[in-house]
Amino acid sequence: MHTYRGKLAYDGTKYAGWQVQPNQRTIQGLMETALLKVTGHSCRVLSSGRTDAGVHAHGQVISFKVETELAENTLCRAINAHTPFDIYLRQLEITRDNFHPIREAVSKHYRYIIQPGPIMDPLSLKYAWSHPKALDLDAMRAAAVHFIGEHDFASFEASKSDRKTSVRNVMELMLDEYTQHDARFITMDIRADGFLYNMVRNIVGSLSRVGKGKEHPDWIVDVLSACDRKRAGQTAPPEGLYLMDVDYGET
C-alpha cells in the first residue's frame, strides 16, 4: 500500500463543497467513488482544506492511501476517466506514508474575483461576484494594507466557528484589475499561514464596503480590534473564490 499526493482542480458550481455529505454530490465523495472503481478498494481522500459549496480550485492538494499495482500516471488517468469533466486530477505521485495535506501546509493562496458594475458580463456569473455597483480600487488597496501581518481575525470568521485560536498571519494581499468583454474585474490574491471559516469571503465583503464609499479604509483597523463578526462587512458569495495553491515549504 502506498500513500499518494496529488493536485486537484475543480469547478465547484454543481457541488455541495469538498466534504462528503449525505445525499449530496461532493468533490471528496466523487474522488473516493472513482478510486473504488479503479482499484477495488475503499479509501478516504484527504485535502488541504474543505472548500464550500460553489467554491473552485486550481491547486487543491489531496492525499490517500490505497493498494494498487498501477503506476502513478496510469492511476491518475484512470481516476480522471471516472470523474466528471469539471473535476480534474492534475498530477499524482507516491509520497511518504506520514504526509498530511492539512497539518503540513505552510501557507495557502486564495484568489477572489469581483465583477463590479455597471457593465456586466453574463458569462462570469458562476465564476465571479457580480457586484451591481462600481468599486474604488484605490480605496480598497488602502484598506487591504491593514490585513497584512499577524492579527486576530475573529471579526472575519463565521459565527460559532470552533477554533483554538483566530490569530492568523497574512503574508500577502494584493488587489488588481483587468477588463474582459468590456466588463471590469477586480482580483484579490491573499496568502496566509491559515484561514478561518469564511475568512476570505468576509474580507472581500468588508473591502467592498470601502470600495463603495460606505467606510473609510482605516475602518478595517477598528473592525480587526473589535473581534466581533457583526462589525465587519457581508460574506461575499462563494462563486468568486478559488483555492490557487498550497505551499509546503519545499524547495
Cell of 95: 509520497
The full DSSP string for 1-54 is -EEEEEEEEE-GGGSS-SS--TT---HHHHHHHHHHHHHS---PPEES--PPTT
- Residue 138 CB burial class (10 angstroms; 0-12, 13-18, ≥19): exposed
Query: From first to last of its 251 residues, what are the pLDDT tens digits of the chain?
Result: 899 999 999 999 999 999 999 999 999 999 999 999 999 999 999 999 999 999 999 999 999 999 999 999 999 999 999 999 999 999 999 999 999 999 999 999 999 999 998 988 999 989 999 998 899 999 999 999 999 999 999 999 987 667 789 999 999 999 999 999 899 999 999 999 999 999 999 999 999 999 999 999 999 999 999 999 999 999 999 999 999 999 998 75
- Residue 12 CB burial class (10 angstroms; 0-12, 13-18, ≥19): buried
Q: Hey, which residues does 108 pair with through a beta bridge?
A: 192, 246
Q: Hey, which residues does 63 pair with through a beta bridge?
A: 5, 46
State the catalytic residue, choosing from 11, 52, 152, 247. Answer: 52
- Please tell me whether residue 149 adopts helix, strand or coil conformation: strand
Cell of 157: 470568521
Domains of the chain: 2-95 (3.30.70.580), 107-247 (3.30.70.660)
Has 86 been annotated as catalytic? no
d(CA 197, CA 246): 17
Buried-state track 216-246, b at ≥16 Cβ within 10 A, e below 16: ebebbeebbeeeebebbbebbbbbbbbbbbb
Q: Tell me the one-letter amino acid at 52.
A: D
